[in-house]
Amino acid sequence: MTKHNQREEITHRCGYFHGCLPFFLLPTFFFFIIIVIIFFFFTFFLFIIFFLIFCFLFLLFDFNLSFFFINFFFTLLLFFFILFFISIFLVSFKVHSTDFPGSYDGYDDAWNKEKFEKNFRIEVGRLAADELEFDMIGIDAAIANAFRRILLSEVPTMAIEKVHIFNNTSIIQDEVLAHRLGLIPIKADPRLFQYKQNLTSFLLLIADADPTEEDTIQFELKVKCTRNPKTDDPDNMYKDHKVTTRHLKWVPIGNQANIFKEGDIRPVHVTEDEPILIAKLRPGQELDLKLFCVKGIATASYRLLPEITLLKPVTGELAVKLQKCFSSGVIEIDTVDVNVESTGILPPEVLVSQAIQVLMTKCRDLSRELDETDKMEMIQVQKGTSEDEAQSFYT
């Protein structure tokens, strides 16, 4: 890989967003769109003029002269459409922030902590038990998007991961039942639990660590469906034919019974009118399962996901008006409008705090790894050994 030329510096400095179309960045190239729109109307205007001239000539004179102007008419029509499609392409795909050092001559856009702290503020719109809406003003979309991504998939929660099936005579297959159970939100504060430690030995290949009170919650699901002989009413013919989250019973491990009261650890949707339906049974069918919840994040599956819906950040007309007051490029307004809806495990404001802390931890871990890589390279240079041996020296 060679170094990029100096003269290509400015064009290469702009970082491009990967993937989605961030329409909230519209104000940042507002001046660009104005030029496109002016071009638009200019060609459209000319197009109208030539059309009128053509009609005028056609009415007053014979065909010959009017055909001369038809040429211009269609050329402009073609130009009009080409410009239209090109501008759509440019608007949709080429999106980049321009607040980097070097984008504007003489304007210092380097990272200034004091300036950021002075301009940044958060305005809370609505705060309920399971819903939160707030605005972040003065932060760039890249960082706000990182928070959004972490909120959706990397905030740790407790969820059922292992299901021991002792008896399942329902028509729901074992794996389908286990999958459904894994999606149920469990009301347990994940900050009070630790990650499950894997066995650090050869035994990992054949067994799993025993569940301890610090990292596992155990539930029991024992339901047997029977016929109700008392009534003829078809609605009440069966007893326990709907297996819901109300049938999940918490089994305390170790001294969890001392720490948590009865009713602290339960599925989230139990006390309302509509608990989550797990399976349906008929007389003679039964379920006998043991469920183990652990702490984790949604790495491979979405089952550990707190349910959050976020509105895309919207910059209102106010932001654009303010930008017009100054010369182009002086004001970069980035407002992010965030709406967080939680499943009920944790209140939404706690979820956002956790998300921010997750990003901080990522940075710190990466910094530490970078320092460790430095040390390992130094060992490598001194000892003159291969990479694997250098690692074993280090540990």
Nearer to other proteins, 164 or 191 (CB): 191
- CA 46 to chain centroid: 47
Least separation in angstroms between CB 94 and other proteins: 15
Q: For tokens 């991504």, what's the residue?
A: 149
Torsion of CA 303, 151, 253, 265, to 10 degrees: -90
Shorter beta-carbon distance to other proteins: residue 175 or 389: 389
Q: Specify the residue, 9 or 307, whose C-beta has the smaller distance to other proteins.
A: 9
Cβ closest to other proteins, residue 167 vs residue 357: 357
- Residue 345 burial (C-beta neighbours within 10 Å; 0-12, 13-18, 19+): buried
Q: What is the SS3 assignment for 368?
A: helix
186-187 and 266-267 as β-strands: parallel, antiparallel, unpaired?
antiparallel
- 74's tokens: 């269609």
The least distance separating other proteins from the CB of residue 179, rounded to whole angstroms, comes to 22
Distance CA 345, CA 155 (A): 12
Q: Counting beta carbons within 10 angstroms of the beta carbon of residue 351, is it exposed (0 to 12), middle (13 to 18) or buried (19 or more)?
A: buried
Our CB check for other proteins shows the closer of 84 and 100 to be 100
Smallest distance, Å, CB 224 to other proteins? 38
Least Cβ distance, residue 322 to other proteins (angstroms): 21
The CB-of-294 to other proteins minimum distance in angstroms stands at 10
Angle formed by the axes of helices 387-394 and 348-383, nearest 10°: 110
List all residues 6 or more positions away from 230 whose beta carbon is below 8 Å from its beta carbon.
none
Q: How far is the CB of 312 from other proteins (least distance, A)?
A: 16
Nearer to other proteins, 64 or 299 (CB): 299
